[in-house]
A = this chain, B = another copy of it.
Amino acid sequence: SSSTTPIKATLFPGDGIGPEIAESVKQVFTAADVAIDWDEHYVSTEVDPRTNSFLTRESLQSVLDNKVGLKGPMATPIGKGHRSLNLTLRKELNLYANVRPCYSLPGYKTRYDDVDLITIRENTEGEYSGLEHQVSLFFSSLVKNLADYLSFDFVKVVKGVVESIKIITRKASMRVAEYAFLYAKTHGRKKVSAIHKANIMRKTDGLFLQCCDEVAEKYPEIEYEKVVIDNCCMMLVKNPTLFDVLVMPNLYGDIISDLCAGLVGGLGLTPSCNIGEDGIALAEAVHGSAPDIAGKNLANPTALLLSGVMMLRHLKLNKQAEQIHSAIINTIAEGKYRTADLGGTSTTTEFTKAICDHL
């Protein structure tokens, strides 16, 4: 067994199936002799009875202190008062880039072979600004604030007209573009595609592209192209091998990463990792919390396990990362132990044990 000092890492098991799949990660990591000291925090869509809060300052601080963590699914109720906890974490921790690899799993057949894509999603702004309003007579977003400030009262709300504001900043676009090209270079990737709709959103997506252009100039060895999002989706389903690393604003990243996940079997099989300033990394399974099967020992822990592997790579524990990765892949490829979502009959614990046996 390993004699290294354990590395402290934050763990947010999350809602629904979260605790079960987090348990699976702990067991697999233990079996692989990975010395992680899990700093576990209860962050959930349900208020924590102990703290009377959804998310405490301590939970955020834990990630900032440990600089590394793993996160299970958290439910995002439609139309509830508070914002999605997933987003709150990204925003509060300034996790500016969301890396979502999608690759064909050997032994798990879909319509597509040889998919090997990296979506890098801007993670803090864009369509996710949270700025939305009833439109006022001056057809403006926050004109009401100004009117309040000036004590005017002639601002009238137009009935049946609402607006959402997409914010693109040079700062956030530059850092995600920088991250994408650096990622491509350090991971031996050949091409970066910037995905956009600048023929329509000329200013916002235009600024995003301009930043990508600037960064691309510093990486002459990396091929660079700009692809309109609708065309990108069409090409991805026709021939995903045309792409390599894809970088894009927030909502496009949300859409494209799910599409790519679909090519290889779905979000139950694809990992992700959120990157922040100062070397912070919060790996995350981005599938839902699956309340219908929660607590039934039926969940597939693969996405969280592979996210854990991304966390280990981030910690430069490459040997253990590859061991665990192979054990997961081989277990799925053998096909004897698979969870129901992959057409098998194994429980979460049986599947987990099979992976541990491969180690």
Can you list, as one digit per residue, whether each of A218-260 has a CB less than 8 Å from chain B (1) or not (0)? Answer: 0000000000011101111110000000000001001111110
Q: Provide the bound-state CA to CA distance between A318 and B135, in Å.
A: 44
B231–A132 CB distance below 8 A: no
A161–B166 CB distance below 8 A: no
Q: Give the residue of B79, B162, B229, B257 whose beta carbon is less than 8 angstroms from that of A204.
A: B162
Q: Provide the bound-state CA to CA distance between A244 and B164, in Å.
A: 28
A356 at the interface (CB under 8 A from B): no
Q: Provide the bound-state CA to CA distance between A202 and B229, in Å.
A: 23
The secondary structure that dominates the A interface is: mixed
Can you list, as one digit per residue, whether each of A262-275 has a CB less than 8 Å from chain B (1) or not (0)? Answer: 11011100000000
Chain B residues within an 8 Å CB radius of A161: 167-170
From A5-13, A17-25, A142-150, A296-304, the one touching the partner chain is A142-150
| Contact A132-B204, Cβ < 8 Å, known A140-B146, A165-B141 | yes
Of chain B, the residue at the smallest CB distance from A251 is B197
A84 at the interface (CB under 8 A from B): yes
Chain B residues within an 8 Å CB radius of A254: 197, 229-230
| Contact A267-B166, Cβ < 8 Å, known A128-B200, A255-B255 | no
A138 at the interface (CB under 8 A from B): yes
Q: Give the residue of B112, B146, B170, B234 whose beta carbon is less than 8 angstroms from that of A138.
A: B146
Q: Give the residue of B138, B168, B201 whose beta carbon is less than 8 angstroms from that of A142.
A: B138
A290 at the interface (CB under 8 A from B): no
A142–B139 CB distance below 8 A: yes
Chain B residues within an 8 Å CB radius of A233: 233, 255-256, 258-259, 262
| Contact A79-B234, Cβ < 8 Å, known A145-B140, A160-B171 | no
Q: Add 17 more A-B contacts to A110-B238, A162-B204 (CB < 8 A).
A: A79-B202, A79-B206, A111-B111, A128-B200, A140-B142, A141-B165, A142-B143, A143-B143, A159-B170, A161-B170, A162-B169, A165-B166, A229-B255, A230-B255, A233-B256, A233-B259, A236-B262
List 20 interface pairs A-B (beta carbons < 8 Å), by A numbering: A78-B198, A79-B198, A87-B200, A127-B201, A134-B203, A138-B146, A140-B145, A141-B142, A143-B146, A160-B207, A161-B169, A162-B167, A163-B167, A163-B204, A164-B168, A164-B203, A230-B257, A234-B266, A238-B262, A255-B255
